Every structure is written in C-alpha cells, then in structure tokens.
Amino acid sequence: MTAHISAEPGDIAESVLLPGDPLRAKWIAETFLDDASCYTEVRNMFGFTGTYKGRRVSVQGTGMGQPSASIYTHELLDVYGVRTVVRVGSAGAIHDDIELRDVVAGIGASTNSSMNRIRFNGVVDYAPVADFGLLRASVDAAAARGVNLHVGQLYSSDTFYTDAPDVESKLADYGILAIEMEAAAIYTLAAKFKARALALCTISDHILKGTELPAADRQESFSEMVEIALDAVTAE
C-alpha cells in the first residue's frame, strides 16, 4: 500500500485508465469492465480492476491538475508495476476544425507548469510526448469505430482561470489543439519509469467559440473516448 492507494500487490492491472474525476472512474468500471472490483477508496479517489475483452484493466481517479495526477501516476508506475497509463478526460478546444464531443489524442503536451523546470534544475524545457505505439493503436481503434480522432499537441495548464491575455489565441497560432490539465505530468513520469502513456480527451467546451456541453451530456459523450482507450491498451 502507498499513502494514497490502498491496493495490495497484484490488485492493479498493468494497464490503467486515468480519469481525473473519481466518479468517472466508477462509471467507467461499471459501464465497460466485467467483474470490476474496487481496490482503493482513499480520499474517495476510487480505483477499480476488471476485465475488458478478457484482458485485465484498471481505472484510477487522479484528481484535477498535474500535482494530483503526478501523485497517483508515480505510485502506480513506481510501486504497483503499471506499464501503460492512458489519461481519459475532458479538454477545451482552441482549434477551428474541432467541435464539441470530438476526441483528441495528444502526441505531445506543452505546459506552463514549473514541475519539469524543477525536475531538470531549471535548465531544460523538457518536451513530454506520448508513446508512439499506444498512439498508433488509438488511431487504429478510432478508425475501426468510425471515430474521427484528432492527433496533435495538447497544452497542460496549471491554471483553470487565468489573467494571462490572449494565451489561448497564441497557443492556437502554434498548433495547439486543446487545453487540459494533466497530460504533461503523466507523459513525463511515464518516460522516467520507462512506461507507456497517452492522453485522450473529449472536447467538452470550445474556448475560442464560447460553446460547451451541458453537464448532463458530458458523461455519455465520453463513451467513444473510453472505448478507444480500452481498445488501445488491449491491442496485441
């Protein structure tokens, strides 16, 4: 057991989906996994293990933001032997060709966080990226399901509300597709522990267009993203 996950050795599968919301972890387990059982409830940050198409898969809530996501990702990779992590969450689009309910896969993740600056003694702007094999598997899974998956750069922000003027437009000018809050940290830790990582995000709002999904519609709209993630982590 760790300070934040009360699982015993062997309770957690080698592949783990990482939603930020612990209630979404519960929804994923109950909706998509067979014989799912809860292995942790510490701080109400639920984790479950079950099977998908006969393969063991876990789903672990991480909380919101890179500091919280880093705690759970670090412990999963360092203590529990997890080898594949896929963030499944929401993001705000900043690209004209992306619409509400679309799914985005992050080939890389820029960030305004100082976490990697601290990690590299303030001298390196580390560029965290997804695992190529996992990304390719998600593209294939999306194509098989008829889902138009957008692949490109994400921006992992440490701030949900910001006073920085025109930062979204500037990011869009440099090809960023969407803004979220966890991918850069997850990618970095996967690199450190020689594991695979990917972030898949469903577009819940469009920051530049000022549109958003009603709260009641968000859960159902995440189904395609979760199915793509499960197909990718269980691909041979």
Nearest to 107 by CA among 159, 163, 183: 183
Q: Identify any residues that bridge with 89 across adjacent strands, giving them in sequence order.
A: 201
Residue 165 to residue 107: CA distance in whole angstroms: 26
Do 102 and 206 meet the contact criterion of CB atoms below 8 Å apart? Answer: no
How many CB atoms lie under 10 A from the CB of residue 127?
13
Determine whether 205 is an active site residue: yes
Angle (CA) 26-131-129 rounded to 5° is: 100
C-alpha separations of 224 from 59, 129, 180 in Å: 16, 23, 18
Phi, psi of 186, deg, nearest 5: -65, -45
Pick the catalytic residue from 96, 205, 217, 231.
205
By annotation, the residues acting in catalysis are: 205
